């Protein structure tokens, strides 16, 4: 199983020096990938609760979020080996032509290291700010992926759909990775899981207990077989939002929460489920405010992961 790490792209540590330091240590230790997320804004009075917190409040780190694609292009210059992925971009806030060209550009400038993770979004405030309605997202997502594949395909291309249209054109650049960079989708509802099975290269879960991941990934693999895809066509790339504590938790422990050793147990269990990749995000962990905090946890998680020796 590959191991990755989320860049310090959000919160008080976000900036060029932190990005360079974390990216370089990741390559030095042997991590396989680096990741960013997307957050458009931090509403003062949010209209929907944040599902990942007990009280529904947004993490303070979301008050400062560097643009995800710009961040990856910057990091590409300072790395040579790790893949560079998004987990996730909110599909409704983008256009497949402009996003396709941005990801292809990242793939060219990084010599074939881009990976694209997409989700549907959840915040009514962000949908309002982006000028997008929240209904019909499933059909929009299907068409978006079809148009995205056209953008990355042989020229000249033409696409006509309900939501997106591209006149017959030459569209460059084309990604180094062909037929496309890896495409991962976040999915929790049956319809979204079916979309992963039909159209994606992998499923990108976060915040799901081990048994839930086992059942959902098995369902996705079954749907992929029913869709006529080859065995192993859909992989699992797990986002591990870590809450690292000094002392172990004795009971009622949520996945990737606790001491480093307890999180390492979750890593090994996730690998046993058949995950192709797991990446740690420590940006939400208590007390993480500086570059040194991130670097220390990165080294500690690598040390205890048990998957290999740096």
pLDDT of residue 251: 84
- Give the domain ranges of the chain: 2-234
To the question of domain 2-234 being in CATH 3.20.20.30, the answer is: yes
Ordered DSSP codes for the chain: -EEEEE-S-BSTT-SHHHHHHHHHHHHHHT--EEEE-------SS-SS--TTSTTSPPPGGGGSB--HHHHHHHHHHT-SSSEEEES-EEGGGS-HHHHHHHHHHHHHHTTS-EEEEEE----HHHHHHHT--SSSHHHHHHHHHHHHHHHHSSSSEEEE-SS-EEEEE---PPPSSSS-S-EEE---SHHHHHHHHHH-SEE--BS--HHHHHHHHHHHHHHHHHTTPPTT-SEEEEEEE-EE-SS---SSPPTTEESHHHHHHHHHHHHHTT-SEEEEE-TTSTT--SHHHHHHHHHHHHHHS-S---
pLDDT of residue 216: 98
In this prediction the pTM is: 0.96
The tens place of each residue's pLDDT in the chain, 310 residues long, gives 999 999 999 999 999 999 999 999 999 999 999 999 999 999 999 999 998 888 999 999 999 999 999 999 999 999 999 999 999 999 999 999 999 999 999 999 999 999 999 999 999 999 999 999 999 999 999 999 999 999 999 999 999 999 999 999 999 999 999 999 999 999 999 999 999 999 999 999 999 999 999 999 999 999 999 999 998 999 999 999 999 999 999 888 999 999 999 999 999 999 999 999 999 999 999 999 999 999 999 999 999 996 554 4
């Amino acid at each position: 199983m590959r191991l990755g790490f989320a860049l310090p792209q959000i919160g008080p540590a976000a900036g060029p020096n932190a990005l360079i330091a974390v990216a370089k240590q990741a390559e030095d230790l042997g991590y396989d990938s680096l990741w960013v997320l997307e957050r458009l804004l931090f509403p003062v009075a949010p209209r929907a609760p944040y599902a990942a917190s007990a009280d529904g409040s947004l993490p303070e780190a979301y008050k400062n979020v560097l643009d995800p694609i710009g961040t990856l292009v910057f990091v590409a210059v300072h790395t040579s080996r790790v893949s560079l992925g998004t987990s996730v971009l909110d599909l409704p806030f983008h256009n497949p032509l402009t996003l396709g060209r941005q990801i292809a550009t990242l793939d060219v400038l990084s010599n074939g290291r881009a990976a694209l993770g997409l989700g549907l979004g959840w915040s009514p405030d962000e949908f309002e700010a982006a000028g997008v309605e929240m209904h019909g997202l499933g059909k929009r997502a299907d068409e978006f992926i079809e148009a995205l594949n056209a953008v990355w395909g042989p020229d000249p291309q033409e696409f006509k759909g309900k939501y997106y249209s591209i006149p017959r054109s030459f569209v460059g650049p084309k990604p180094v990775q062909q037929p496309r960079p890896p495409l991962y989708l976040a999915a929790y509802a049956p319809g979204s899981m079916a979309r992963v099975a039909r159209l994606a290269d992998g499923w990108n879960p976060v915040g799901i207990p081990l048994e839930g991941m086992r059942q959902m990934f098995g369902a996705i693999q079954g749907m992929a077989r029913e869709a006529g895809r080859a065995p192993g066509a859909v992989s699992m790339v797990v986002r591990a939002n870590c809450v690292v504590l000094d002392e172990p938790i004795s009971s009622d422990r949520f996945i990737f929460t606790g001491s480093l050793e307890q999180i390492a147990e979750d890593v090994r269990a996730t690998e046993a489920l058949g995950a192709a990749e797991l990446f740690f995000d420590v940006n939400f962990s208590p007390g993480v405010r500086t570059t040194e905090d991130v670097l220390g946890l990165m080294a500690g998680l690598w040390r205890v992961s048990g998957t290999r020796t740096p």
